[in-house]
Amino acid sequence: MQATHKDSAATAAYGGEQMQAASTAHAEQAAHGAGEHGGDFDPLHQFEIHPLVPIRIGEMDFSFTNASLWMVIAVLVVALIFLFGENRMIPGRLQSIRELAYEFVANITRDILHDEGRPFFPFVFTLFVFILAANMLGMIPYSFTFTSHIIVTFALAMVVFLLATIVGFVKHGFRYLKLFVPSGVPFYMMPILVPVEVLSYFTRPISLSVRLFANMMAGHTMLKVFASFVVGLGIIGGWAPLAMMVALTGLEFLVAFLQAYVFMVLSIIYISDALHPEH
């Protein structure tokens, strides 16, 4: 009887260990599945760059990626709108878009740069419509917003920064350095203000690029998060985040336009400083 009782106790203990091991394995499997399921709603997954046509030359990677594809699409869309179509006395939809965009950028450039801004209008106009097209195309589901990458916005900002710097030195020579010396400032304040002005000047491409990149990335991330709430809460509880998502989508369209506008206006101001550094 005693031996039988011991055998029963050992069997029960062994069975308990098996049940505990099975429970642990089930919990790990459930956690792994939950992690995989949660990965479907990763808000940063939409910003990943994937090579579509791998191209490598030595150690250099020149692959044609999804970001490159949407850059090409943005250029093609802009070209279709502004280079094709008839111009009539009574404008159609595309002609109205062309004329409104042209007048919008031309008026801002004229107000800030006056007649000296004529040579820079094609550059400013191209910059505006390219960024605007990129931002608007990024609102299409399953598209790719390449202006949400800092390397893209920084490259655009560096083009503006280098253009303004070159124009300033070509037009004024070393007198362009007056930009770093505010007019009417006492001499004893120069050691403090000049380094501040120099630092502010060289951080222009950083602030210009981060503003566009951060706003586009934050907006799309928020839309993705609310979309995951709609899926997670289902038909019963998903109406509130769905309504919020619709409102945020409308706001994101406005942000897409405003960020292109702000980038353009700041670029014009930087060019204005190059033309008139004494101001």
86-114: per-residue pLDDT in tens?
777 777 788 888 889 999 999 999 999 98
pLDDT for position 204: 93
In a domain, 136, yes or no: yes
Say what percent of the chain tops pLDDT 90. 41
pLDDT for position 74: 95
For residue 60, the cross-strand partners are: 57
Structure tokens at 187: 């001499």
In a domain, 17, yes or no: no
Q: Which of 54-68, 102-116, 152-166, 230-244 has the lowest mean pLDDT?
A: 230-244
Cβ neighbors of 67 (< 8 A, separation 6 or more) are 49, 144, 146, 149, 152
Q: Which of 62-66, 158-162, 208-212, 235-239 has the lowest mean pLDDT?
A: 235-239
Say what percent of the chain tops pLDDT 70. 80
pLDDT for position 5: 41
Structure tokens at 115: 């007649």
1-47: per-residue pLDDT in tens?
444 444 444 444 444 444 444 444 443 443 343 344 444 557 777 78
Question: Cα 11 to chain center, whole Å?
Answer: 63
Number of independent structural domains in the chain: 1
Core vs surface per residue 188-209: b (16+ CB within 10 A) or e: eeeeeeeeeeeeebeebbeebb
Structure pTM?
Answer: 0.79
Complete DSSP assignment for the chain: -HHHHHHHHHHHHHHHHHHHHHHHHHHHHHHHHHHHHHHTT-TTGGG---EEE--EETTEE--EEHHHHHHHHHHHHHHHHHHSS---SS--HHHHHHHHHHHHHHHHHHHHHGGGGGGGHHHHHHHHHHHHHHHHHTTSTT---GGGSHHHHHHHHHHHHHHHHHHHHHHHGGGGGGGGS-TT--GGGHHHHHHHHHHHHHTHHHHHHHHHHHHHHHHHHHHHHHHHHHHHHHHHH-HHHHHHHHHHHHHHHHHHHHHHHHHHHHHHHHHHHHH-TT-
In terms of average pLDDT, the best of 11-25, 196-210, 228-242 is 196-210
Higher pLDDT, 85 or 152: 152
In a domain, 72, yes or no: yes
pLDDT for position 10: 41
pLDDT > 80? residue 138: yes
In a domain, 23, yes or no: no
What's the rounded Cα separation, in Å, for the pair 12 and 131? Answer: 70
Structure tokens at 119: 């040579």
pLDDT for position 97: 87
In a domain, 167, yes or no: yes
The residue to which tokens 């159609």 are assigned: 92
Q: Whole domain around residue 62: which residue ranges?
A: 46-275
In a domain, 55, yes or no: yes
In a domain, 120, yes or no: yes
In a domain, 12, yes or no: no
Higher pLDDT, 51 or 23: 51
